[in-house]
Amino acid sequence: MSVILVTGGAGFIGSNFVRYMVNKYPQYKIINLDKLTYSGNLENLKDVEDAPNYSFVKGCITDGKLIQKLIEKYECDYIVNFAAESVAEEEFVTVHWNGEIQVLSMKKLFERLKESNKVIWDGKHEIIDTSNEKIKVLSFYNNSGTFLPLRKIIRHPYRGKILKLKQKQGEVLVTPNHSVYNTHGKVVAAKSNPSLLYVRDMNFSCRDKKIKHPKILGMFNDKKLKFLCRLLAAYISSGYLKQNYVIINDNDKSWLEILSDDFKNIFDGNSLITENNGTLQLKLKNKDFYKICTKFCNDGDSKKIPNFVFNIGKEYQEIFWKSLVKGINNGKEEFLTSSRRLAAEVCLLLLLIGKEFYVDYKMNAYNIKVGNCKFKSKKITEKKYEGFVYDLEVEGSHNFVAGVGNIVVHNTHVDRSIMEPGRFVKTNVLGTQVLLESARKYGIEKFIQISTDEVYGTLGDEGYFTEDSPLKPNSPYAASKAGADLLVRSYHKTYGLPVNIVRPSNNYGPYQFPEKFIPLMITNALENKPLPIYGDGSNIRDWLYVKDTCKAIDLILHKGKNGEIYNVSANNEKRNIEVVKLILKKLNKPQSLIKFVKDRPAHDYRYALDSSKIKNELGWKPEYSFEEGLEKTIKWYIENKEWWKRIKTGEYMEYYKKWYGKRLNLD
């Protein structure tokens, strides 16, 4: 009996291969090792999970001890390697949404986007595609803070430790495996507690000299806007609400008189300065002003800076800041608050004004001071956490700004081919090396490396990549796969390890998650939703039905010549726009559903493989034409609506936990 260890066998191609082998070779034992991160999903293998010749093990290919334990336990003969590879919910980010700058918690941002967008569940993460939203997030770009388009927000449940990094630059809450930027602009692990990179220069200017809040504010401009800024800042720093009154405490009578005059210049209402227990109080009574404070500034511990303050000119923002510190510090430029949200908003205000500042810490409060800080203390603490953690995919940037003090943190989730090179290197290169070393130690009969056509780079309108074409990867993902391929080759040349490298073209078929190109187009069309196409849709891909890929790997496993590379292609070259139009035609849907969106970075123009080697030497040939494979794929998604609709609506999380929670310790 042959025993095959398949790594990454819960993903799209991997799960199709596992199912193919389990069903075709009942005399073989198939061991499926998968970490169940982004692409791994046990639901893909529900129909074979109880097969006597199949076993699943949750784990990572970088865990050398686990790999060796599995090889010893099951006496593995072959290895087929498919494997390829956050911020807390109360953390704050700055967004530019519907023409307005706002500070929102990750949780609040997700919940608001969820109101008008479908949530996709990929087996571990809830994902909202925000391509159709006019929303930007503050990022660090060209050495300054810049608002860049938000493409996706991702979250997943997390139970464990959260790190709090407190420094003069500010404070941020992240998971231990999250990355931040140090002051040299390098991505480093948060747990190393580096000196944090922060934003103090803003590539943004507010030119509005008026702001309108219908029904409540009416129109304020020029002097009236200045008056309003002073009043609201004074309320936030030392005021409270009581019985329809807005009450502001301060012992500087002249300051209260200025505020009283401001109030009279805007509102019709009562204004009175009194004394209460040795403290002067300004009592203001007006229905509209009370509503403004209630709706836009909140009360008590939940006080906040109104969003409009972030969207007016520096002249008015400066007035707001000086009024914020006037009452409590006699004009000394520092602001003390125990509210994390308010601290984050004050830091954003100072950034927009252009003031250098730092954060001092007093007990459980934030003391935000204008000026340069001389102390260099760095404190890192841990706390237990159970909830969601979040990531943002930002167009044209690998980071976003979060926390108190505008701290720059790394995007650790997407685009996995662009935004997360570190984890890809770890999985694809280090993980492959661990597998190779274990294969060498235990005398594995053959090691099959599943690679990608992306390692070759991009093509023009003509020509094909052969197995001898130079490797010119254009994305970190492709580069890490190319590095893994070279490692595999080196183990064959150096140690005589029997290996094969398989480089298939673009796969499609059953069990592919709906965020990928073909299933996204199919499922969106079935729901009469827009079909987003990068650029003008002219990019060309060479499509291969996944069952043909499985047959090719099976053939290479049994008959492939040691040390050889095999391209696998059905020579089905199609422009993206052609594929989309064909899907719409087969589903009898209108082309008006097509929506062109801004192209993504590192989007190679054309891939095309010459697969004559595997055809001539091993006798492989594709069974399915593109039209036949697409028909089968469309039919599968129509017949399995419950599967992909659960993913898109977010119900998949509860379904997944119900079926696999105990097995995977998800409860």
Residues involved in catalysis: 453-454, 477
Rg, the chain, Cα only: 29
Cα–Cα distance measured from residue 173 to residue 390, given in angstroms and rounded to the nearest whole number: 11
State how far the alpha carbon of 472 is from the alpha carbons of 453, 484, 524, 543, in Å: 11, 14, 34, 21
Beta-strand relationship, 135-141 and 92-97: antiparallel
Half-sphere exposure of 153 (CA within 13 A, CB side): 30
* Geometric angle at alpha carbon 614, from 611 and 615, rounded to 5°: 80
Q: At what angle do helices 253-266 and 223-238 cross, to 10 degrees?
A: 130
Cα–Cα distance measured from residue 595 to residue 131, given in angstroms and rounded to the nearest whole number: 11
For the chain, give percent helix, strand, coil, nearest 5.
35, 30, 35
Tokens 């594709």 -> residue: 622
Residue-by-residue DSSP string for 573-625: EEEHHHHHHHHHHHTT--GGGEEEEPPPTT--SB--B--HHHHHHH----S--
DSSP state of 543: E
Closest C-alpha among 656, 643, 105, 150 to residue 387: 105
DSSP state of 145: E
Cα–Cα distance measured from residue 133 to residue 142, given in angstroms and rounded to the nearest whole number: 24
